[in-house]
A and B are shown apart, each in its own frame.
Chain A
Amino acid sequence: MQQLFVFIRKEFYHVFRDRRTLLVMFGLPAVQILLFGFAMTSEMKNARMVISDNARDVQSQQLINKIKASSYFTISEAVTDYRDVERAFKKDEVKCALIFPAGFGNDLLNGGRAQVQIITDGSDPNTAKTIINYLTAIITEYRQQQFPAAALPYKITPEIRMLYNEEGNGSLNFIPGVMALILMLVCTALTSVSIVKEKEMGTMEVLLVSPFKPVLVLISKAVPYLVLSFINFTLIVLLSVFALHVEIKGSIFLLFLESTLFIITCLSLGLLISNTTSSQQTALLICMMGLMMPTMVFTGFMFPLENMPWPFRVISNILPSRWYYIIIKAVMLKGLGFKYIWKETLVLAGMTLVLLTIALKKFKIRLQ
């Protein structure tokens, strides 16, 4: 036991000696959570739009003013020629075009059937769909204001309640996901170099000739990073609460407990990578290049997992961050207790056990 403490102390010296790396490890994830928390949003705003108003009458002008009044669109200078519309799309200056044919107002008042055309940039299909939805809503509203007789006499109104997020805080959708993503990548990368670095420097030999057990080597490598990651997590939570105004609805104790488990899972993955690679460069490339995109895609915060073809849903199960994302959403945002997340917790615990066992098996106690 005495021996273990000595070794853990050695590892702490390693970590704390390098002040600059320490600063980078704490500073960057903190800046990231702030940056993404403030910047990312799932709402659409300021979509650039060009209007070709061939009617130029009171009605088309009223409708244009109504669109201008919403925060969804930024309207660029009106063009008249259809070819100008095409040019604007090719230059990527606009996301959509609204075209009024000549005689719009006249058709609306007298014929009873007026027409407008919406053209969207389909190369960004998601935005295109949202634009169509918003514009249709604005046009329908305009029509009902102008022609109360056209409104339905028997009206069903859907009343929408946003659960867990009444103020419509757009960053709530991303914060748990970004937290899972950052923690997963940072924790894995931290430990992934720990053993391979000693191999590269040649100091591994010194460790191996000592009567110290392999499992204790792994533990002593992981402990300082566990402490660091825990502090890092605390920092991220504090920033989310005080800077991004995310309210923690569930038990803070449970949140930290589950997060510690997740950190240990990631550290074990890092140790496994460290034991199976031969250079720091390979280890880091696997962590960053190999894990970054899959973690982002399969955690489920950007792309709904249920929409994926079944082989991918199966693949997503092997990523710890996918399970942690469910846990953190449940505890932090929905305020649910342990009985809702025991399955996910069990999965994470099982993964940790498997990863650590393989890491230990792969730990070579001979040099060649």
Chain B
Amino acid sequence: MSPLPFILQKEFRQIFRDKTILAMMFALPIIQLIILPLAMNFDVNSVNIAVVDHDHSAYSRQLIAKVLSSGYFNITGSEPSYPRALEHIEKGEADIIMEIPTGFERNLVREGAQKIALSVDAINGTKAFIGSGYLNAIIKDFDENLPLNVTATAAGVGNIDIAYSNWYNPRAESKYYLVPGILVLLLTLIAGFITALNIVKEKETGTIEQINVTPIKKWEFIAGKLIPFWIIGMVVFTLGVLVCRFVYGILPQGSVALLYLFAAVYLVALLGFGLLISTFCDNQIQAMFVAFFFMMIFMLMSGLFTSVESMPPWARTISNLAPITHFIKVVRMIILKGSGMADTSSELAYICGFAVVLNAWAIWNYRKTS
């Protein structure tokens, strides 16, 4: 008779005995999934701008009024000079300075060209970038609608009309992008950390010796560790999908069965990874640091927040070597775009490959004798 059922019984008892950790395994990811996406917002809709108007003409006032009425900008100060405006940026009160030169209106009419200086706090990456984009568009629009230009432009020469559509998310709301990704990340964090700590804890308390002297096989030991956490992971995943549905109103467009198939295989891969870390480390602090190292890479390089394509080629390779990159991609494809089996088969092959390699490595690396 296989000893596997007995090992499973032991593992389940150990898990259910520690109520604090059991509660944390479910509560931490779910609470974070409910709260964090509400706070995460890529949409830039309040850029603070300090204005230096050297001209005080009708044009400059119209332009400032136009910037203000666009709804994207708060004018935090009108200063007489650039150094005074710079102080707003230094104190973090403003993100952009718009400086309108002396004689702006007069010279525009006379010479046909004028410059407006925009100084952007480039440390605030996204805000600076998107904010100056908005401001550019507003200035351009202002320019086109100047009475001078409207009357002078030869109508109907080489116009190109551009029609836009955002598929799968017409209103371009970031929650559709973020919530499924965060669900995957939280599942990864909880399952990865807990399994990474598990075998190491037995090493530290010495109970692993008792298991090593029994005739239990290596794969049975690993399977005994893997199965209970796999079940917990699937429960967390289910809760997460329910949160997506009922809190955020995100209904999977594709097949739920396919989603679960991916989750099942992904969890095997991920747990294998956690166990592998566990077999390499001597104590819980080490295991935690190694797990932390990989989790940070998973979090920041998996395409969760920043696009993978924009990274340099070597970083893209690292990103593709992490199972989570593929799982996040697939979850977004299935939930948002309704992609089917045929669209995702190569990703499934990848994740299956990870599952086999990582677990085989963990079994191989687990030594019953030192």
Contacts and interface: CB of A to CB of B under 8 A. Distances in A.
Contacts of A5: none
Contacts of B124: 173, 304
B291 A288 contact: yes
A251 interface: no
Given A42-B125, A121-B167, A158 B136 contact: yes
Contacts of B197: 281, 284-285
A41 interface: yes
B168 A42 contact: no
B32 interface: yes
A124 B285 contact: no
A292 to B, nearest CB: 7
B167 A282 contact: no
Contacts of B129: 42
Contacts of B172: 122, 125, 128-129
B312 A312 contact: no
Interface stretch (B219-227, B298-306, B359-367): B298-306
A189 B286 CA distance: 11
Interface string B29-52: 100100010111111111010000
- Centre residue among A159, A292, A298 by max chain B CB count within 10 A: A292
Interface size bracket, A side: 35 or more
Contacts of A154: 108-109, 112-113, 143, 146, 148-149, 152
Given A115-B163, A120-B165, A123-B332, A44 B186 contact: no
Interface string A279-291: 1111011111110
Interface string A143-179: 1001101101111111111111110101011101010
A307 B119 CA distance: 21
Given A280-B284, A293-B36, A312-B39, A122 B159 contact: no
Given A189-B292, A298-B39, A41 B116 contact: no
Contacts of B336: 123
A123 to B, nearest CB: 4
Interface in B112-152: 112-130, 132-133, 135-136, 139-140, 142-144, 146, 148-149, 152
Given A89-B337, A150-B157, A298-B39, A127 B307 contact: yes
30 contacts: A20-B282, A20-B286, A35-B297, A35-B301, A38-B312, A47-B310, A74-B309, A92-B337, A95-B309, A118-B164, A119-B167, A122-B170, A123-B168, A123-B337, A146-B158, A153-B148, A159-B117, A160-B118, A162-B122, A163-B89, A190-B285, A193-B285, A284-B193, A285-B28, A287-B288, A289-B28, A306-B48, A307-B43, A315-B39, A334-B90
